[in-house]
């Protein structure tokens, strides 16, 4: 599927999101500011960009595994949801699960954004749901190994 994503740079410190490699699922998103995240704390980090998403899509804000593995820093609300109609600045909520403070540098790649289709859903209220093999079983009912 081909989508046209419109991106507005809100100021001089903003960097366009980009794929590290052709074909990568995520567009790396850059911080437009410097901020220190103390151990156990979360911070809202500006990116200096706003989007006009293609109709029928969302952007999912996901962590970068390198930041998670090396620094225990991840996206608190992962996957963050960017709604099609949102025109404000994209901000990233990072949490530091590590034992030492983590400095977000300006122009650091702090997360990645995946553009995904959103199905149109119509809701119907019913008295009965159809039977299925799983039924009401869940939460490890099929075994844990």
Ligand X SMILES: O=c1ccn([C@H]2C[C@H](O)[C@@H](COP(=O)(O)OP(=O)(O)OP(=O)(O)O)O2)c(=O)[nH]1
Was 65 annotated as part of a binding site? yes
Was 72 annotated as part of a binding site? no
The tokens describing 20, both together, are 């590290």
Least distance from C-beta 26 to ligand X, angstroms?
Answer: 14
Was 66 annotated as part of a binding site? yes
Least distance from C-beta 118 to ligand X, angstroms?
Answer: 12
Could you tell me if 38 and 51 are in contact, meaning their C-beta atoms sit under 8 angstroms apart? no
Neighbours of 110 (CB within 10 A): 23
Give the C-alpha distances (Å, rounded to integers) separating 49 from 5, 60, 120, 137, 138: 12, 15, 27, 44, 41
Separation CA 68–CA 64 (nearest Å): 7
Q: Which is nearer to ligand X, 58 or 102 (CB)?
A: 58
Q: Which is nearer to ligand X, 56 or 100 (CB)?
A: 56
Residues near ligand X, by CB under 6 A: 61, 77, 80-83, 86, 90-93
Separation CA 80–CA 61 (nearest Å): 5
- Residue closest to ligand X when measured from CB atoms: 80
Least distance from C-beta 91 to ligand X, angstroms?
Answer: 4
Least distance from C-beta 50 to ligand X, angstroms?
Answer: 9
Was 64 annotated as part of a binding site? yes
Cβ neighbours of residue 42 under 8 Å, at least 6 residues apart? 76, 93, 94, 95, 96
Q: Which is nearer to ligand X, 77 or 100 (CB)?
A: 77
Instruction: Detail the residues annotated as belonging to a binding site for substrate.
Output: 64-66, 77, 81-83
């Amino acid at each position: 599927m081909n989508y046209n994503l419109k991106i507005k740079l809100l100021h001089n410190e903003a960097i366009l999101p980009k794929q590290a490699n052709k074909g990568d699922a995520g567009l790396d998103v850059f911080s437009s500011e410097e901020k220190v995240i103390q151990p156990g704390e979360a911070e809202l980090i500006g990116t200096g960009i706003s989007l006009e998403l293609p109709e029928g899509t969302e952007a999912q804000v996901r962590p970068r595994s390198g930041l998670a593995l090396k620094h225990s820093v991840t996206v608190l609300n992962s996957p963050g949801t960017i709604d099609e109609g949102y025109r404000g600045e994209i901000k990233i909520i990072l949490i530091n699960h590590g034992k030492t403070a983590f400095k977000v540098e300006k122009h650091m790649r702090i997360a990645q954004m995946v553009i995904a289709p959103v199905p149109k859903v119509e809701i119907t209220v019913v008295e009965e749901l159809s039977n299925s093999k799983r039924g009401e079983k869940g939460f490890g009912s099929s075994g844990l190994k």
